[in-house]
Amino acid sequence: MENFLNAAAAILFFILGSIIGSFLNVLVYRLPKKESIVKGRSHCTHCGRQIRNIDLIPIISYLMLGGKCRFCKKPISPRYMIVELLTACSYLTAYLALGYSAELIYAVILFPVLIILSLWDLNHKEIPYTCSIIIAVLGIISIFTLPIPWYEHLIGAVIVSLPFGVLCFLGAMGGGDVQLMAAAGLLLGWSIVPSALIGIILGAIFGLMVKAVTKSSVIVFGPFLSVGIFVGFLWGEGIINAYLGLIR
Ligand SMILES: [Zn+2]
Whether 128 and 79 map to the same domain: the answer is no
Q: How far is the CA of 247 from the centre of ligand 1 (A)?
A: 59
Cβ atoms of residues 95 and 104 within 8 Å: yes
Question: What would the pLDDT profile of 168-178 be if each residue is shown by its tens digit?
Answer: 999 888 899 99
Output the CA–CA distances (angstroms, integers) from residue 144 to 140, 187, 195, 217, in the order listed. 8, 11, 22, 42
What's the pLDDT tens digit per position in 124-137? 999 999 999 999 99
Which of 53, 71, 99 corresponds to the end of one domain?
Answer: 99
How do residues 17-44 score in pLDDT, each as one tens digit? 999 999 999 999 888 888 777 777 788 8
Report the number of distinct structural domains present in the chain: 2
Q: Are 22 and 84 in contact (CB under 8 A)?
A: yes
> In this structure, are 120 and 14 located in the same domain?
no
What's the confidence (pLDDT) of residue 31?
A: 85
pLDDT at residue 35, rounded to an integer:
79
Q: What is the whole-number distance in angstroms between the Cα of residue 39 and the centre of ligand 1?
A: 20
3 state DSSP class of 50 = strand
Residue 88 alpha carbon to ligand 1 centre in Å = 26
Identity at 74, one-letter amino acid code: K
pLDDT given at position 199: 96
Same domain, 77 and 131: no
What is the extent of the structural domain holding 67?
Answer: 1-99
**Helical spans, DSSP H, in the chain:** 2-30, 60-64, 79-98, 102-124, 129-145, 150-169, 175-188, 192-214, 222-247
- pLDDT for the residue 171: 85
State the average pLDDT over residues 220-230. Answer: 96
pLDDT digits 0-9 by tens, 182-213: 999 999 999 999 999 999 999 989 988 888 88
* 243 and 135 housed in the same domain: yes
CA-closest candidate to residue 20, choices 75, 74, 58 = 58
C-alpha 68 – ligand 1 centre gap (Å) = 8
The pTM for the full model equals: 0.93
| 132 and 89 together in one domain | no
DSSP state of 12: H
**How far is 8 from 90, CA to CA, in rounded Å?**
17
The predicted structure's pLDDT at residue 202: 95
Distance 49 CA to ligand 1 centre (A): 6
Query: Do residue 69 and residue 112 come from a single domain?
Result: no
Q: Tell me if 146 sits within 8 A of 236, measured CB to CB.
A: no
Q: Which residues contact 166 (CB under 8 A, 6 or more apart)?
A: none
Q: Which of 81, 99, 117 is the last residue of a domain?
A: 99
pLDDT band at 159 (very low <50, low <70, confident <90, very high): very high
Q: What is the pLDDT of residue 70?
A: 93
Tell me the DSSP string of 129-156: HHHHHHHHHHHHHHHHHSSS-HHHHHHH
Residues 65 and 73: their CA atoms lie apart, in Å, by 9
Residues 196, 93, single domain; the answer is: no
Instruction: Provide the pLDDT for residue 215.
Output: 79
94: CA distance to ligand 1 center in Å?
Answer: 36
Q: 179 and 201 share a domain?
A: yes
- What is the distance in A from the centroid of ligand 1 to the CA of 61? 14
CA 106 to ligand 1 center in whole angstroms: 38
Same domain, 105 and 206: yes
- Claim to verify: residue 111 and residue 189 sit in the same structural domain: yes
87 and 10 within one domain = yes
pLDDT exceeds 90 at position 81: yes
227 and 152 part of one domain: yes
